[in-house]
Amino acid sequence: MRKLGMILALILFFTGSVFAERVTQGEAINHFNEGVKFQNKGNFAAAASAYQKTIYLEPGPELKKLALNNLGAMFAKQEDFTSAEAAFRQALDIDAGYKNALANLGYLYYLKGDEETALKFLMKAEGLKEGKSDFVTESKQGQF
């Protein structure tokens, strides 16, 4: 009987954790979607708040990097290049190959007048190698 109670307690503990993570992720997705709506309407303060909530609530990396990239884009549009760069780099800390953040960072450097660094980030975003003019392709079944 004691074993059964222990097993039930363990089951409740683990399923409760999974449920809490799903609820938190659901809230994070809702905040992210709100951020997108506010950003599209030009309400950057409300969008930034929604994205910050997303970053705080999201248990995994995927939505965090999207929110950070969107924050960076908003900062860049407001010509706050320091905050924009920080947000893009945080997204890249999560996923070093995240193409949107690489491209946005490249464009940011272009706007700042650093064409050499801009080109490096843009080439990395597009999968180009320096000195090569071809795109690097990925092979997937049925696609070229």
Which domains, ranges and CATH numbers included, belong to the chain? 2-126 (1.25.40.10)
pLDDT (average), residues 123-134: 65
Q: Distances in Å between the alpha carbon of 72 and those of 1, 30, 53, 66, 75?
A: 56, 20, 15, 10, 5
State pLDDT tens for residues 111-122: 899 989 988 988
State pLDDT tens for residues 22-66: 547 788 899 999 999 999 899 999 999 999 999 998 888 889 999
State pLDDT tens for residues 71-100: 999 998 899 999 999 999 999 999 999 999
